Amino acid sequence: METDTAFIIDVVFWIIAVCTIFSAIAVVFLRDVFRSALFLVVTFIGVAGMFLLLRAEFLAMVQILLYVGAIAVLILFAVVLTRDVEQGSPFNGYIAPALVISGLILAGVIFVIINTDWNMTSGEIGSEELTFAFSETNIVGNIAELLIKKYVLAFEAVSIVLLGAVIGALAIVRRR
Protein backbone atom coordinates (compact mmCIF):
# COMPACT_ATOMS: atom_id res chain seq x y z
CA MET A 1 0.00 0.00 0.00
CA GLU A 2 2.79 2.41 0.84
CA THR A 3 4.54 2.42 -2.51
CA ASP A 4 1.56 3.19 -4.75
CA THR A 5 0.13 6.10 -2.75
CA ALA A 6 2.71 8.58 -4.06
CA PHE A 7 0.38 9.68 -6.87
CA ILE A 8 -2.51 10.29 -4.47
CA ILE A 9 -0.24 12.22 -2.15
CA ASP A 10 0.78 14.41 -5.10
CA VAL A 11 -2.85 15.12 -5.99
CA VAL A 12 -3.76 15.90 -2.39
CA PHE A 13 -0.71 18.17 -2.13
CA TRP A 14 -1.79 20.24 -5.11
CA ILE A 15 -5.40 20.49 -3.91
CA ILE A 16 -4.30 21.68 -0.48
CA ALA A 17 -1.66 24.04 -1.90
CA VAL A 18 -4.07 25.73 -4.32
CA CYS A 19 -6.76 26.07 -1.63
CA THR A 20 -4.30 27.52 0.87
CA ILE A 21 -2.85 30.07 -1.53
CA PHE A 22 -6.25 31.03 -2.89
CA SER A 23 -7.64 31.64 0.59
CA ALA A 24 -4.49 33.51 1.62
CA ILE A 25 -5.02 35.85 -1.35
CA ALA A 26 -8.70 36.18 -0.41
CA VAL A 27 -7.71 37.24 3.11
CA VAL A 28 -5.83 40.19 1.68
CA PHE A 29 -8.22 41.26 -1.06
CA LEU A 30 -11.68 40.80 0.45
CA ARG A 31 -13.33 43.97 1.76
CA ASP A 32 -15.52 42.24 4.34
CA VAL A 33 -13.23 41.76 7.33
CA PHE A 34 -15.32 38.95 8.81
CA ARG A 35 -15.08 36.93 5.61
CA SER A 36 -11.36 37.50 5.28
CA ALA A 37 -10.98 36.24 8.85
CA LEU A 38 -12.87 33.09 7.85
CA PHE A 39 -10.58 32.65 4.85
CA LEU A 40 -7.67 32.99 7.26
CA VAL A 41 -9.12 29.93 9.03
CA VAL A 42 -9.11 28.04 5.72
CA THR A 43 -5.45 29.00 5.30
CA PHE A 44 -4.64 27.65 8.76
CA ILE A 45 -6.40 24.38 8.00
CA GLY A 46 -4.51 24.15 4.70
CA VAL A 47 -1.21 24.53 6.54
CA ALA A 48 -2.32 21.79 8.94
CA GLY A 49 -3.00 19.60 5.91
CA MET A 50 0.55 20.28 4.69
CA PHE A 51 1.90 19.15 8.07
CA LEU A 52 -0.17 15.96 7.74
CA LEU A 53 1.32 15.27 4.31
CA LEU A 54 4.78 15.67 5.85
CA ARG A 55 3.85 13.01 8.46
CA ALA A 56 3.90 15.57 11.28
CA GLU A 57 0.50 14.65 12.73
CA PHE A 58 1.26 16.24 16.07
CA LEU A 59 2.16 19.58 14.51
CA ALA A 60 -0.97 19.47 12.34
CA MET A 61 -3.18 18.90 15.36
CA VAL A 62 -1.48 21.63 17.36
CA GLN A 63 -1.89 23.95 14.37
CA ILE A 64 -5.65 23.31 14.33
CA LEU A 65 -5.97 23.46 18.11
CA LEU A 66 -4.11 26.74 18.54
CA TYR A 67 -4.74 28.62 15.32
CA VAL A 68 -8.25 27.53 14.37
CA GLY A 69 -9.59 26.85 17.85
CA ALA A 70 -8.12 29.79 19.72
CA ILE A 71 -6.41 32.46 17.61
CA ALA A 72 -8.98 32.56 14.81
CA VAL A 73 -11.78 32.90 17.34
CA LEU A 74 -9.95 35.75 19.05
CA ILE A 75 -9.43 37.43 15.67
CA LEU A 76 -13.16 37.09 14.92
CA PHE A 77 -13.92 38.54 18.35
CA ALA A 78 -11.73 41.56 17.58
CA VAL A 79 -13.22 41.91 14.09
CA VAL A 80 -16.75 42.05 15.46
CA LEU A 81 -15.75 44.91 17.76
CA THR A 82 -14.45 47.06 14.86
CA ARG A 83 -16.49 49.70 13.07
CA ASP A 84 -18.07 48.93 9.69
CA VAL A 85 -17.03 45.33 9.27
CA GLU A 86 -18.40 44.96 5.74
CA GLN A 87 -16.32 47.79 4.24
CA GLY A 88 -13.62 47.71 6.84
CA SER A 89 -10.59 46.75 4.79
CA PRO A 90 -9.97 49.57 2.28
CA PHE A 91 -6.64 50.26 0.66
CA ASN A 92 -4.93 53.15 2.36
CA GLY A 93 -1.75 55.19 2.29
CA TYR A 94 0.44 52.55 3.88
CA ILE A 95 1.14 50.65 0.66
CA ALA A 96 4.82 51.65 0.46
CA PRO A 97 5.82 50.67 4.03
CA ALA A 98 3.72 47.49 3.74
CA LEU A 99 5.57 46.58 0.54
CA VAL A 100 8.94 47.18 2.21
CA ILE A 101 8.08 45.07 5.28
CA SER A 102 6.58 42.19 3.34
CA GLY A 103 9.51 42.31 0.93
CA LEU A 104 11.91 41.98 3.86
CA ILE A 105 9.92 39.04 5.25
CA LEU A 106 9.84 37.39 1.82
CA ALA A 107 13.62 37.83 1.49
CA GLY A 108 14.10 36.26 4.92
CA VAL A 109 11.92 33.26 4.06
CA ILE A 110 13.70 32.76 0.73
CA PHE A 111 17.08 32.98 2.49
CA VAL A 112 16.01 30.31 4.99
CA ILE A 113 14.61 28.06 2.24
CA ILE A 114 17.79 28.27 0.17
CA ASN A 115 20.09 27.66 3.13
CA THR A 116 18.22 24.66 4.54
CA ASP A 117 19.65 21.23 3.90
CA TRP A 118 16.60 19.43 2.51
CA ASN A 119 18.32 16.09 1.87
CA MET A 120 18.03 14.83 5.42
CA THR A 121 16.59 11.52 4.25
CA SER A 122 16.90 9.86 0.90
CA GLY A 123 13.88 8.23 -0.64
CA GLU A 124 10.58 9.49 -1.99
CA ILE A 125 7.47 10.36 -0.02
CA GLY A 126 5.53 7.15 0.39
CA SER A 127 8.51 4.85 0.04
CA GLU A 128 8.65 1.99 2.49
CA GLU A 129 11.90 2.88 4.24
CA LEU A 130 10.68 6.43 4.82
CA THR A 131 7.39 5.21 6.26
CA PHE A 132 9.31 2.94 8.58
CA ALA A 133 11.61 5.76 9.62
CA PHE A 134 8.60 7.97 10.38
CA SER A 135 6.78 5.31 12.35
CA GLU A 136 9.91 4.73 14.43
CA THR A 137 10.39 8.42 15.17
CA ASN A 138 8.82 9.77 18.33
CA ILE A 139 7.85 13.21 17.01
CA VAL A 140 6.23 14.43 20.24
CA GLY A 141 9.24 13.36 22.28
CA ASN A 142 11.66 15.02 19.87
CA ILE A 143 9.76 18.30 19.88
CA ALA A 144 9.60 18.20 23.68
CA GLU A 145 13.36 17.57 23.91
CA LEU A 146 14.10 20.51 21.60
CA LEU A 147 11.73 22.87 23.39
CA ILE A 148 12.75 22.01 26.94
CA LYS A 149 16.48 21.44 26.41
CA LYS A 150 17.99 23.03 23.32
CA TYR A 151 15.73 26.02 22.70
CA VAL A 152 14.57 26.50 26.28
CA LEU A 153 15.69 30.15 26.37
CA ALA A 154 13.71 31.13 23.24
CA PHE A 155 10.74 29.15 24.51
CA GLU A 156 10.70 30.97 27.83
CA ALA A 157 11.25 34.33 26.11
CA VAL A 158 8.09 33.73 24.08
CA SER A 159 6.19 32.98 27.27
CA ILE A 160 7.41 36.22 28.80
CA VAL A 161 6.26 38.13 25.71
CA LEU A 162 2.79 36.61 26.13
CA LEU A 163 2.79 37.43 29.85
CA GLY A 164 3.74 40.99 28.98
CA ALA A 165 0.84 41.19 26.53
CA VAL A 166 -1.59 39.98 29.21
CA ILE A 167 -0.30 42.49 31.77
CA GLY A 168 -0.42 45.26 29.18
CA ALA A 169 -4.03 44.47 28.34
CA LEU A 170 -4.92 44.53 32.03
CA ALA A 171 -3.12 47.86 32.49
CA ILE A 172 -5.04 49.42 29.60
CA VAL A 173 -8.34 48.23 31.02
CA ARG A 174 -7.56 49.42 34.54
CA ARG A 175 -6.70 52.96 33.54
CA ARG A 176 -10.31 53.76 32.59
11 scored as a contact of another protein (CB under 8 A): yes
Site string for another protein, 25-64 (x = CB under 8 A): -------x-xx--x--x---------------xx--xx-x
8 scored as a contact of another protein (CB under 8 A): yes
Q: Of 35, 31, 40, whose CA–CA distance to 92 is shortest?
A: 31
1 scored as a contact of another protein (CB under 8 A): yes
Q: CA dist 111 to 21, 27, 114, 117, Å?
A: 21, 25, 5, 12
CB nearer another protein, residue 66 or residue 99: 66
Q: Which residues contact 70 (CB under 8 A, 6 or more apart)?
A: none
DSSP H helices in the chain: 6-29, 33-53, 57-63, 72-80, 95-115, 128-136, 139-145, 152-175
Among 21, 28, 70, 157, which residue interacts with another protein (rule: CB under 8 A)? 70
The residues that touch another protein, with contacts defined as CB under 8 A, are: 1, 4-5, 7-8, 11, 32, 34-35, 38, 41, 57-58, 61-62, 64-65, 68-70, 72-73, 76-77, 80, 140
